[in-house]
Amino acid sequence: MNADRVIVGMSGGVDSSVAALLLRREGRDVAGLFMKNWDEDDGSEFCTAQADYEDAARVCDKLGIELHSANFAAEYWDDVFTAFLDECRAGRTPNPDVLCNREIKFKQFSRYAEALGADRTATGHYARLHHTGAGVQLLKGRDAAKDQTYFLQALTAQQLTAALFPVGELTKAEVRRIARRAGLHNHDKKDSTGICFIGERRFRDFLQRYLPHNPGAVTDESGAVLGEHPGLAYYTRGQRQGLAIGGLAGRPEAPWYVLDKDSERNQLIVTQNPAALLNDWLSAGRLNWLTAAPQLPLRCTAKIRHGQPDQAVVVQAQTEGGVSVAFDEPQRAIAPGQYVCFYDGDVCLGGGVIERFGERPARVGAGNQGLAANGAVEGGRRG
Q: How many Cβ atoms sit within 10 Å of the Cβ of residue 114?
A: 13
Q: Using the predicted structure, report yes or no on whether residue 373 has a pLDDT greater than 50.
A: no
Q: Please report which confidence band the pLDDT of residue 365 belongs to, taking 50, 70 and 90 as the band edges.
A: very low
**pLDDT for the residue 366:** 39
Torsion angles phi and psi, residue 132, rounded to 5: -125, 175
40 and 49 Cβ atoms separated by less than 8 Å:
yes
Mean pLDDT of 282-296: 94
Confirm if 30 and 24 have CB atoms less than 8 A apart: yes
The domains of the chain, with CATH numbers, are: 5-181 (3.40.50.620), 212-272 (2.30.30.280), 278-379 (2.40.30.10)
- For residues 98 and 341, the answer to whether their CB atoms sit within 8 Å is no
Per mean pLDDT, which range of 45-54, 199-208, 267-276 is the poorest? Answer: 199-208
Catalytic sites, residue numbers = 100, 196
pLDDT tens per residue across span 170-217: 999 999 999 999 999 999 998 876 565 555 556 777 888 898 889 999
Which of 28, 36, 31 lies closest to 59 in space, CA to CA? 31
Average pLDDT over residues 243-266: 89
Say which range, 127-131, 227-231, 319-323, has the weakest mean pLDDT: 319-323
Residue 45, pLDDT > 60, answer no
Residue 199 is predicted with a pLDDT of: 58
| CA–CA dist 14, 20 (Å, integer) | 10
| Measured distance CA(150)–CA(35) in Å, rounded | 22
Quote the pTM value. Answer: 0.90
What are the pLDDT digits (tens) for 58-112?
A: 999 999 999 999 999 999 999 999 999 999 999 899 999 999 999 999 999 999 9
| Model confidence at 119: pLDDT above 80 | yes
